Every structure is written in C-alpha cells, then in structure tokens.
Amino acid sequence: MILVAVLGWQLLLAVGAPALTRPLGRNAGYVLAAGYLAGAGLLTTESPVLLADQAVTVSWPWLPSLGVYAALRMDALSFVFALLVLGVGAFVMAYCPRYLSAGSRHTRVYVTMTLFAGAMLGLVLADDLLVLFVFWELTSILSFLLIGQDGRTKVRGPAIQALIVTTTGGVALLVAVVVLSASLGTSDLDRILADPGRLATGPAWAAGALVILAAITKSAQVPFHFWLPGAMVALTPVSAYLHAATLVKAGIYLLMRFSALFGGQWPWDLTLIGLGLLTAIVGALLALRQHDLKALLAYSTVSQLGLLVGVIGVGTPASDAAAILYTIAHALFKATLFMLVGIIDRQAGSRDIRALSGLRRAMPITVMLTVLAAMSLAGLPPTIGFVGKEAIFDALSGVHGVPWLGWVAAGLAVLASTLTFAYAARLVYGVLSGPIRQRELHEPAWSFLAPAAVAAVIATALGPTVAVLSPMVERAASDARPQGQAPYLAFWHGFTPALGLSVLTVLLGTLLFLCRGRTDSMLAAIPTTSPFTGYLERFRRTLLRLGAVVARPARVTAPAPYLTRPLLAVVALAAVAVLLVGPLPAAQADPTRGGDWLVLGLLLVPLAGLVSTRSALAAVALTGAVGLILAAWFLTVGAPDVALTLMLVEVLTTVVVMLALRGRPGRLVAPGRRAGIVAGAGLAVLVGAAATAATAALTGRRDLSPAGDWYLREASATTGGENLVNTILVDFRALDTLGEAVVLGVVAVGLVGLARPDEAERPRPAAVRHVVDPVLELAYRVLAPVMLAASALLFLRGHEELGGGFIAALLAGTAVGLGHLAHPAGAPLLGRLRAVPLLTVGLLLALAAGLAPLAAGRVFLTPIKFPLPGVGSVTSALVFDLGVYLMVLALVVAAVRRLDSAPAGPAPGPVRERVR
C-alpha cells in the first residue's frame, strides 16, 4: 500500500495547494517541497526490499472480465525514476517562491506541477499496459498546461506544438498497448516482460516500432526534436522540471522498460543507437549556435537525451547501468543549470551570452555553481557527469556485431561530447569574462540560490562517491534487462580506453572552443528551424480549416437553420428504417389508453399557442406548459422519477430563460416569408410523423428484457435501496453517472470562463440594475427555504423512495435561479454560491466514493457500507450521490450567474428571427 500512499499523498498536495497559497502566497512552494521530500522518504523505506531483488506491488480489479487490473509495481528501475521525479521536484518547488513574482498565478503553477509529478509517478510505477498509457497521456496534457501556464499569445503555439507531438506518440503507444495485449493475451506488464520468448514475429514486433515512436516523440529525438526548444517559452521552473528530470525522461524510461521485451534484436538495437547518436550530434550542433542560455540548454537536453537513447540500444548490462547513471547525472546538472539561468536572467535582466559579462565579480557564488554544473555537463572530474560519460563511452565501444561497429558508435559519442564540451565552455566563458556592464548587479537572496546550490553540490560530490549508487544502479540495470551483471561503479577504473576517449573529448572540445570564431561562421550555414516544424504547422492549419468547414453549418445563431439539418437527418433515418426493416413483431396488447387521447388533446392547446404567439414571455410559459403536461403523462404510466425530473427541468428552464430575457426584447416577429413558414411547417409535420411511426413500431412489441427482470428482482437485495431508478444510477451504472456528471462539470467550467470580467462588470441599463420586484422577492423569501428543505429531503430519501441527487439538485438550482430573478444584484446567501468550489467538492466526493472500495479489495465505485454515529451505517452510494448533487448544482449556478452577469441588450423591441 506504500505505492498508493505516495500517489495519494501527491494528489493531496495538489488538492491542498490552493489552501496553502492563500495564507502563504508563493512561499507555499517550500511546504510543497517538503511534501515531495516526504514522499521520496516514504519510497526510500522500501530500498532494502528492492536491493534484495524483490519488488513492491499492489493491484485492484479494474476491468476483471478483460484481465485488466489497476496494478502498481516498484522495482529498482522505477524506484530510481520515482526518486528523480520527487527529488528534482523538491528542488524546483523550493526554487519557485523566489522566482515567481508575488502577483503571479502561483497557485496554478503549484497545482499543475504537483499533478504532473503525480502523473509521472504513476507512469514509472504502472504495472499494467492500460494504466501506463493513462498516466502517459496525463503527462502530455499536464505538460501542455504547464508550458502554456500564463496564457500569453506567444506561448500558445509552442504549447500546442508540444501537445500535438507528444499526443501523436500517445496514439502510437495506445496502438502498441492494444497489439501487445491482444497478441500476448494479457496487459500485465510484469508478465509480458518476464517472458519475451512469447513475442511473435508479426504484430507484436510492429508494437516495438510503435513503442520507439512513442518514446522519441516524448524524449524529443530527431525528427521530433523541434518541440522541446519551442517549449522553452515556459517559466524557468517548469523548464527545469519538465525538461531535466520528468517529461523528457518518460521516453527514456519507456525504452528501458521495454528493452527486456524487444532488446537484443538488431532492428530495435540499431534503431536506438543510430537515432540516438544522430540526435546527440544534431542537438549539440544546434546548441553550439545558440546565444540565449535557455535555448542552449534546450538543445543540450535534446543532445543528452540522444546519448541516453543510443546507449540503451547497446543492450548490455554495462550499457543499462551507464544509461541509468547518466540519467541521474543529467537530471542533477541540467536542473541546476536551468535554475541558475533563471537567477542570472532575473538579476542581470538578460539570458544572452553576448550581453553578459563580469558576473564573476558581482555574483561569484552563482558563477561558481554554474561552473560546477557545466563541468558535469562537459564530463569533467570530479563530477558525476564525468563518471557517467566515461561509462557511456565504455558501453558504446562494446556494441555487439562487427568489431568496428562499437568504435564507430564510440567515435560518434566522442563527437557529440566534444560539441557538448565546447558549448559548456562557451556558457562558462560568457558569465566569467569581461567587465561588469549591468548596474546594481548582486548575488540573489540565499533562499533563491539554495536549491540550485544543493543540486550542484550533490552532482559534484556524487562523482568521487559514486560507489554509494552502485548497488541500486546495478539492481536497476538488472530489472531493466535481466541478463548478466552490471559492472561496479567507481570514480577511478585506471587507465582505460574510456578514459582515453574522455581525455580526447576535452582536448578536441578545448580546441573547438578556442576556434569559436571560425566555428560560428561555419555553423551559421546550419538551419536552426527543423523542416518538420513547418510540416506540423501546415498539418495543424489544415486540420483547423477542415474543422471550420465541418462546423460551419452549426455556426448559426437563428434556431431554424440550426435545427433544420439534424431534423432532416431524423426524417431520413425514419425513411431508411421503413424501407429496410422487415415485418415487426405483433403487438402483445394495445398500449393505448383512453387517457392518452385526453393528454394529446391538452397538448394541442399550448402547442397552438406556441406557433401563433409573438410574445417571448408567452412562448416561455407555453413551452413550460407542454413540459408539465408531458410530466403528468409520465406520471399516469407509472414513471414518477421521470415525471418529477421533467417537471423540475421545465421549471428550472423557465427560470433560466426568464433571466436571459431580462432587459431584452420582449417580442418575436417573423418576417412573413410565406415560403419559409411553409417549409418549417412541412418539416414539423415530417418529424412528427416519423416520431409517431417510431412510437407505434417500438411500443408494446417485446417482453421485459433479462436485465430489466434482474434489476426488478435483485436490486433491493443487492443495494439495500428500494428506488430502482436511483439504484441503477448510483449503484449499478455509477460509472456512467460519473461520466455524465463530469460532462456537466466541463460545461460549468466553460460557462465560468465565458463570464469574463469585462462583460461581468459592464453596467446594466438603469431600468434593470438592482431593481427588486416585490412579487418575486416575496415568492423567493417564501419558496426558497421550502425548496431547499424539499431538496434535502429528496436527496436523503432518494435511495429508498422518489428522489435522488440529480432531482434534488434541480430543485435547489431552481431556488438559486429564483433568487437571481428576485435580486439582480445577487440573492442573499444563495447569490454567494460559486460554481468552481461546488464542482471541485462534488468531483472529489464522487471520486472518494469510487476509490474507497479499492481499500477493501472491491471494484471501483462498488457501494460499501460504513458506520455513521447516530445513524448506524450509510452506503458510499450516498456520498457518490452527494457528489453528483453538487456537480449538477454547480452547472446551474454557473449558468444562472453567467446569464445574470451578461450585458443587457438594447431597449425592448421586436426580435426578428429568420424562419426557414
């Protein structure tokens, strides 16, 4: 359960972040950093188990009929990546309070980044292919939100670009998951990886290519490398976290995890080696061209990830250990460099190397830390980067196959590392050399510098003491690919070929740096923009144009043309059904009763008024009358839940439309085009005929279905509830209900977003501003308490008798709407309700009701009983229903507040509606 505890702790931190930022402001980052460290400490308690070649596992049934389980598993490999997620996350969270301005949207940054950390944890701990895919996609979505955090126009393009590329990889991973699950008969990741011999040569190998595609899109390998430098428009803490230790490392983790299945075969190995080393060289060349420090680090990340992909492809214990060690090293020195660049940018006002000089005099500690991190990047002793780079050289020189292949791979790695040394030297030289140009330049506060300082010191100290990492790295390498024993890690292995390659890298890199003038002129011919950027942009624009063409028929404001097409489609479907459907079963009995004709006769009265009235208020009232008559009809045929729901919907709709009409024209005037009127009447007759024919064809021609019969017999004994409709909604089909409630929540969020301040604060005309109607005021004061009490009663009795969360929320929403009708400025008490808090609490309650059964070994959303003092016991279905209640109420509140805050229209007059 420790894995669930860590994920739950991360979710709790995200949910609690807003409560922390209210009293603490941006300083809440320190508390969150401590929370990250607490999660890391909790995982570390399991390290003895992992070193003993065991794993920590937990699982619950998710889709047991398909053999899918919500399974988590932590071995040494996932432990290393989980510690990187939480450890580097703690550094970045401690860095945020001083980087973020006091007036910035730090709450959003903290919540999204903490959720992202939780998604990354879920990804590296997942032990089921479907669970892995879900967390993989969550990282893509949350990274999009993080990159486009501040909403500026210039960040939208890069954020969308990153989302398109990474979700393309997500689609590839989804197909791979389906292919592997179908080919191997299971989605259990541990079982799949434990027996690679079951892998077929056909579709399953296609899955290997798809896994590579998913990994290289996430880890920015050629030709998908262009999205990562573009994402540098994000805040520096976001870049430090996503592009050093988390998002881009997801692809590295995926390749290492699936190497046990696909590794050792030449298509997999050679693809990774070739693609990785090509990316390492291309990224290093592009980094050498940059003058912006952040762009330099972005292309550097592309290059370093290429080295990691290449060494993973070697497929030996030494290469796996080298990849793991260099992953740790890269996370430390790259996060440090990003944080230091952010500090330099804040203090000096620039990230351009050409504009920076003399920082060694004004900011000696910052410069010293930059030098240490750059030394690790360049692979210089005594840093962990030196040990990791030497391990990579040693692993690449041992590539299986023809004898010269290993030395070619090692030579390409030396070339990439030489370029890396050159741009690392350029970075250091830019901040060290020259006189001080900036005024009032000084060291930042110690609290701003401390996270980067700690990370830099750790990266340096782990070089000579790398042996302390050796047991866990060896174990992780064995978990990645259980074949042989990884070499013991040490700072000094003697005079080896790998050491010689390291020395050669330093010499060539120094020479390249000294010849930087000539080098720059040669590199100027290399384009910095990838052609794939243009291809992607053209593809995106084509999709947008196609979407505009498809959606054009729906982008109309008048109801008549908007409804014409779907209604014609209904008529066409009815005609096709008449032509294709064979003889219908004989009716078991005539379902028509005498009272039905009476109801139809009553319906004709408001319908006749609707087609003839020109008053907007009369149209609203007559529409409500039609709904109420239909509700009475449902009541007579034994459907009280449906009748009550329809009645409340009609009342609430009337209230909402009255809000929309307040201060607006009161008449609907048709232009009098006879052809349009005739066409509309003809369409209405056709639709009515189709509906009548369908009703006659589908009513009374079959027995009660087996499912319906089972519900009638077993629902009460199974759920303890007597209201069959409610038990189906919150017990048997709770997942459907949750999905529908979430959709309502999304609509509520959209309505809240539409209520922009410039519109909400626009003054109303004097005729409608703050005018309290005495009749409505009296009705509100008398009816609102009664409606709220009835809402509570309907909610509490819903499981046993007529009622339920949805119906109760509609009644409470009607009280809210009535309050806004009576008080344009906002009703007392009910006017203070806000949609987002209601939605948040409702969703959390619904999820809690779904997750609680997992602790008892039950399936998600299975109702369980728990004791309640003074009551005895209640079922979790009641908690779930309360969540639904709050989410439905949130939608009503959002709609009512949106309509009540919208600017009033022009002076009352006729509305001309186009009639076709």
Lowest mean pLDDT among 100-104, 112-116, 331-335, 765-769: 765-769
DSSP 730: I
Average pLDDT over residues 716-731: 87
Average pLDDT over residues 819-832: 70
**Distance of alpha carbon 813 from alpha carbon 826, whole angstroms:** 14
Q: What percent of the chain has pLDDT over 70?
A: 91
**Distance of alpha carbon 163 from alpha carbon 258, whole angstroms:** 24
The model's confidence at residue 166, banded by pLDDT at 50, 70 and 90, is very high
Nearest to 680 by CA among 611, 605, 604, 616: 611
Q: Is the pLDDT of residue 767 over 60?
A: no
**What pLDDT, on a 0 to 100 scale, did the predictor assign at position 530?**
67
**What pLDDT, on a 0 to 100 scale, did the predictor assign at position 749?**
85
**What pLDDT, on a 0 to 100 scale, did the predictor assign at position 153?**
64
When comparing pLDDT for 831 and 507, which is higher?
507
Residues in the chain: 916
Average pLDDT over residues 849-853: 86
**What pLDDT, on a 0 to 100 scale, did the predictor assign at position 672?**
58
Nearest to 901 by CA among 841, 839, 838, 835: 835
**What pLDDT, on a 0 to 100 scale, did the predictor assign at position 424?**
94
Long-range contacts of the stretch 52-57 (C-beta < 8 A, 24+): 53/475, 53/478, 55/190, 55/479, 56/2, 56/3, 57/3, 57/127, 57/190
When comparing pLDDT for 433 and 95, which is higher?
95
Residue 706: cis peptide before it, omega within 30 degrees of 0: no
Q: Which two tokens mark 852?
A: 């609680």
Average pLDDT over residues 5-17: 93
Lowest mean pLDDT among 63-77, 89-103, 820-834: 820-834
CA distances from 102 to 19, 78, 90, 106, 436 (A): 16, 37, 20, 8, 29
Q: Is the pLDDT of residue 759 over 50?
A: no
**What pLDDT, on a 0 to 100 scale, did the predictor assign at position 17?**
93
Lowest mean pLDDT among 182-186, 345-349, 435-439, 830-834: 435-439
Instruction: Tell me the per-residue pLDDT of 598-641, one tens digit each, with 9 for 90 and over.
Output: 888 899 999 999 888 888 888 888 999 999 999 998 888 888 88
Going 905 to 907 to 908 to 910, the CA torsion angle's sign is negative
Label residue 220 left, alpha or beta by phi (over 0 means left) and psi (-120 to 50 means alpha): left
Q: Is the pLDDT of residue 826 over 60?
A: no
Average pLDDT over residues 516-528: 75
pTM, full prediction: 0.81
User: Which of 356-360, 581-585, 674-678, 681-685 is most confident?
Assistant: 681-685
**What pLDDT, on a 0 to 100 scale, did the predictor assign at position 828?**
61
| DSSP code string of 605-617 | HHHHHHHH--BHH
Nearest to 381 by CA among 499, 496, 300, 486: 499
**What pLDDT, on a 0 to 100 scale, did the predictor assign at position 670?**
59
Helix (H) or strand (E) holding 805, with range, is: helix 805-822
Q: Are strands 667-669 and 910-912 parallel, antiparallel or unpaired?
A: parallel
Nearest to 294 by CA among 228, 379, 225: 228
Return the residue matching tokens 């509309």. 680
Are 160 and 540 in contact, with CB atoms under 8 Å apart?
yes
**Distance of alpha carbon 122 from alpha carbon 4, whole angstroms:** 10
**Distance of alpha carbon 72 from alpha carbon 57, whole angstroms:** 6
Nearest to 273 by CA among 373, 185, 399: 399
The neighbour count for residue 435, using CB atoms within 10 Å, is: 7
The neighbour count for residue 220, using CB atoms within 10 Å, is: 29
Helix (H) or strand (E) holding 72, with range, is: strand 68-74
**Distance of alpha carbon 286 from alpha carbon 421, whole angstroms:** 13
Are 421 and 509 in contact, with CB atoms under 8 Å apart?
yes
**What pLDDT, on a 0 to 100 scale, did the predictor assign at position 411?**
94
Lowest mean pLDDT among 440-454, 701-715, 728-742: 701-715
Q: Is the pLDDT of residue 910 over 70?
A: no
The model's confidence at residue 306, banded by pLDDT at 50, 70 and 90, is very high
The model's confidence at residue 723, banded by pLDDT at 50, 70 and 90, is confident
* Three-state secondary structure string covering 368-408: HHHHHHHHHHHCCCCCHHHHHHHHHHHHHCCCCCCHHHHHH
Query: Where are the domains positioned within the chain?
Result: 287-549, 558-573+594-696+723-912
Lowest mean pLDDT among 118-132, 209-223, 252-266, 758-772: 758-772
Helix (H) or strand (E) holding 667, with range, is: strand 667-669
Q: Is the pLDDT of residue 390 over 90?
A: yes
Instruction: Tell me the per-residue pLDDT of 872-892, one tens digit each, with 9 for 90 and over.
Output: 677 888 899 999 999 999 999
